[in-house]
Amino acid sequence: MAANAIEIRGLTKIYGGGRNSPEKRALQGIDLDIPQGSVFGLLGPNGAGKSTLINILAGLVIKTAGRVTIWGFDQDHNPRQSRASIGVMPQELNLDPFFTPREALEVQAGLYGVPRRQRRSDEILRMVGLEDKAGAYARTLSGGMRRRLLLGKALVHHPHVLVLDEPTAGVDIELRQMLWENVRKLNQQGMTIILTTHYLEEAEEMCDEIAIINLGQLVARDSTVNLLRRLDSRTMILHPDGPVGRLPEGEGLDVTQRGDGALVIRYRSAETPAEAVLAAVRAAGICIRDVKTEQADLQDVFLELTRRR
């Protein structure tokens, strides 16, 4: 068994390039290893190439160049085994409206060639909280229930690797909790989990390791702890109680003044305690009327990482 669940080398995807569509380089030579047993976050802004990458793993999009190995099986040389090793919960709610959840799971299991006696439709329905809806048509299911069913469908062939593409975009708190409980449980049972998300908080909570892609390129790949340590920038927004004569100064402080008079002070919490920021403000003779702090969000992370490049 390979030590990495997924190995990606020089992965490139170019869309279009026909007479009416300009060429789009969605992935530009990605190298990435995803360790077995990890909960791995794939982050990136809209259009970064996350879905393209996931769809290539799922066998839904054909790569232009590069090598993909899933659970030790090269996608080109062992397409059947590599496909059988991975289950994907897609972003779109693409379900056949005329199948009931139980039928949908059975059909999916049939597509993957799972013998009848190895099928676990009822167990999966229970796991995703759809046992009451086992016989209802998909078209009568709520959006949240459809997502649960998509998760169930991704699991019918007992994959080693489960990919969740934006699983919590627009879902309510209850479903989010159910999803994360299931993800934790499956991971404890040894399943490698890959998830894409826009929410840094979610990645922070769930993922051991994170890769960030931007414009089809890998811009960071590290353990979550290390990544967040690198990205511990804070912003303090101060509303002064009167005109500002001079801006606060101090090591590690990046101070600007907004059009409305507010001071925007960026600093790293690991290097500069909030008290040092406030002391610098007082030393500049500024009285504070109001203050708030903001943590770096994914957008800042991107700006920082892409700027660094």
Among 1, 23, 46, 246, binds ligand ATP (CB under 6 A): 46
Tokens representing 242?
Answer: 């009167």
Compare residues 119 and 198 and give the one whose CB is closer to ligand ATP: 198
Among 6, 8, 11, 26, binds ligand ATP (CB under 6 A): 26
- Binding-site size for ligand ATP (CB under 6 A) equals 12
Compare residues 48 and 114 and give the one whose CB is closer to ligand ATP: 48
Among 12, 15, 131, 305, binds ligand ATP (CB under 6 A): 15
- Give dist(CA 235, CA 103) in Å, integer: 52
Quick one: which H or E segment has residue 152? helix 143-155
- Give dist(CA 48, CA 26) in Å, integer: 7
Compare residues 20 and 46 and give the one whose CB is closer to ligand ATP: 46
- Give dist(CA 197, CA 163) in Å, integer: 11
Minimum CB separation from ligand ATP for residue 20, in Å?
12
Among 5, 6, 51, 85, binds ligand ATP (CB under 6 A): 51
Minimum CB separation from ligand ATP for residue 43, in Å?
9
Binding span for ligand ATP by CB under 6 A among 41-49, 63-71, 284-292, 293-301: 41-49
What count of other Cβ atoms lies within 10 Å of the Cβ of residue 301?
23
Among 41, 49, 240, 248, binds ligand ATP (CB under 6 A): 49
Among 44, 90, 152, 167, binds ligand ATP (CB under 6 A): 44
Binding span for ligand ATP by CB under 6 A among 31-39, 43-51, 74-82, 200-208: 43-51
52 binds ligand ATP, rule: CB under 6 A: yes
24 binds ligand ATP, rule: CB under 6 A: yes
- Please check whether residue 50 is in contact with residue 164, taking contact to mean a CB–CB distance below 8 angstroms: no
Count Cα neighbours of 32 within 13 Å in the Cβ-side half-sphere: 30
Minimum CB separation from ligand ATP for residue 158, in Å?
27
- Give dist(CA 140, CA 133) in Å, integer: 9
Minimum CB separation from ligand ATP for residue 37, in Å?
25
- Give dist(CA 280, CA 89) in Å, integer: 50
Minimum CB separation from ligand ATP for residue 213, in Å?
7
Among 5, 30, 48, 227, binds ligand ATP (CB under 6 A): 48
Compare residues 106 and 300 and give the one whose CB is closer to ligand ATP: 300
Q: DSSP secondary-structure letter at 138?
A: G
3-class DSSP state of 181: helix
Compute CA 131 distance to the chain's CA centroid, rounded to the nearest angstrom.
28
- Give dist(CA 148, CA 258) in Å, integer: 46
- Please check whether residue 136 is in contact with residue 178, taking contact to mean a CB–CB distance below 8 angstroms: no
Count Cα neighbours of 295 within 13 Å in the Cβ-side half-sphere: 11
For 183-238, what is the HEC assignment? HHHHHHCCCEEEEEECCHHHHHHHCCEEEEEECCEEEEEEEHHHHHHHCCEEEEEE
Compare residues 16 and 143 and give the one whose CB is closer to ligand ATP: 16
Minimum CB separation from ligand ATP for residue 286, in Å?
41
| Residues within the interface to ligand ATP (CB under 6 A) | 15-16, 24, 26, 44, 46-52
